Amino acid sequence: MTPSTDPRPAEEIRFLRASVAHQCNLSCVYCPKSSGMENHTPARLRGPGHRLTTAQYCRNLDHIADPGVLRGISFTGGEPTLNPDLPVLVAHARSRFDRVELTTNGRHLAGQIDRLAPHLDVIKVSLDAVDSALSHQIMGGRPADHEVAVAAVRMSLAAGLAVGINVVAMRRNLDQIPRIVRLARTLRRQAGAGTLYVSVLDLYYTDETRALWLDEFVPIDRIAGQLQERLGGGESQDRGGCEINWWQDDGVQIRLKSSYESTYRAQRCDRCPVYCQEGFYGLKHSVEGWVTPCPSSAEALGVHLPAGLAEHDAQARLRPLLQELTSTRRVENSFSEFLRRRGLADAHHRATIPLTPVTASERDHG
Q: Where are the alpha helices (DSSP H) in the chain?
A: 54-65, 86-94, 113-116, 132-139, 145-158, 177-191, 210-216, 220-231, 267-270, 311-326, 334-342, 346-352
Q: What is the DSSP string of 5-65?
A: --SS--TT--EEEEE--S--S---TT--GGGTTT----GGG-SGGGPPPHHHHHHHHHHHH
Nearest CA to 42 out of 296, 306, 271, 287 is that of: 296
| Of the candidates 280, 287, 222, the residue with the CA atom closest to the CA atom of residue 54 | 287
Q: List per-residue pLDDT tens for the chain, 366 residues long.
A: 778 778 888 888 999 999 999 999 899 999 988 777 789 999 999 989 999 999 999 999 999 999 999 999 999 999 999 999 999 999 999 999 999 999 999 999 999 999 999 999 999 999 999 999 999 999 988 888 889 999 999 999 999 999 999 999 999 999 999 999 999 999 999 998 778 999 999 998 988 999 999 999 988 888 888 888 888 888 888 777 778 889 988 878 999 987 777 899 999 998 888 888 889 999 999 999 999 999 989 999 999 999 999 999 999 999 999 999 999 999 988 888 899 888 886 655 665 666 566 655 544 443
SS3 74: strand
Whole-angstrom distance, CA of residue 232 vs CA of residue 11: 22
What is the model's pLDDT at position 365? 40
Phi/psi at 290 (5° precision): -85, 130
Q: What is the β-pairing status of strands 329-332 and 72-76?
A: unpaired
Query: Which pTM value belongs to this model?
Result: 0.93
Contacts of 316 (CB under 8 A, 6+ apart): none
**Cα separation, 25 vs 48, whole angstroms:** 18
